[in-house]
């Protein structure tokens, strides 16, 4: 197996599986009202930044399925948005304005993730998409962005090229 693939799977298992566990156990403890950061999405974006769109979408899909299985969400509802965002994160890397060693596109990708997630989630709910966008997607985007910046600062040596 190629060295880059081994490093991908190593980061996937160390950071990815850990992020799923942290999402299930720690995220509810730091929730502000009902807004939670998405630790799994943070790892998917960092993996896609390091390894590109294909491996980013693969990590997003697998970690999204694992997250759904562990947290009790409908199976697959996290996999689709995380795969899309993982692919976009890898394809747009290097084509954006950078700040704090982070692509500013990632904020848009987090918002896209939240929009896709709540567009799917609203079919099982009596609330409208407008409600979810204003009351869930935007605040979760801000909270996840803050966690992404903090995580990127501490893990830069692992996810830098």
Q: Which CATH number does the domain housing residue 62 bear?
A: 1.10.1760
Question: Of 96, 58, 99, 52, which is closest to residue 79 (Cα–Cα)?
Answer: 58
- By residue range, what is the domain housing residue 65? 3-159
Q: What is the dihedral of CA 137, 151, 59, 74, to 10 degrees?
A: -40
In the chain, the number of structural domains is 1
User: How would you write the pLDDT of the chain (161 residues) with one tens digit per residue?
Assistant: 688 899 999 999 999 999 999 999 999 999 998 899 999 999 999 999 899 999 999 999 999 999 999 988 888 899 999 999 999 988 887 665 555 555 678 899 999 999 999 888 888 778 888 888 899 899 999 999 999 999 988 998 888 87
Contact call for residues 97 and 69 (beta carbons, < 8 A): no
* 59 vs 75: CA distance, rounded Å: 16
């Amino acid at each position: 197996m190629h060295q880059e693939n081994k490093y991908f799977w190593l980061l996937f298992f160390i950071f990815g599986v850990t992020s799923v566990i942290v999402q299930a156990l720690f995220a509810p403890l730091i929730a502000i009202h009902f807004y939670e950061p998405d630790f799994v999405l943070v790892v998917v974006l960092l993996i896609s930044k390091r390894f590109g769109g294909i491996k980013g979408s693969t990590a997003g899909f697998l970690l999204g399925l694992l997250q759904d299985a562990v947290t009790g969400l409908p199976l697959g509802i996290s996999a689709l948005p995380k795969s899309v965002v993982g692919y976009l994160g890898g394809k747009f890397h290097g084509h954006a304005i950078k700040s704090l060693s982070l692509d500013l596109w990632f904020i848009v990708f987090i918002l896209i993730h939240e929009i896709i997630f709540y567009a799917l989630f609203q079919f099982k709910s009596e609330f409208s998409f407008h409600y979810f966008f204003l009351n869930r997607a935007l605040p979760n985007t801000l909270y996840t962005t803050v966690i992404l910046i903090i995580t990127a600062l501490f893990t830069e040596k692992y996810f830098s090229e």
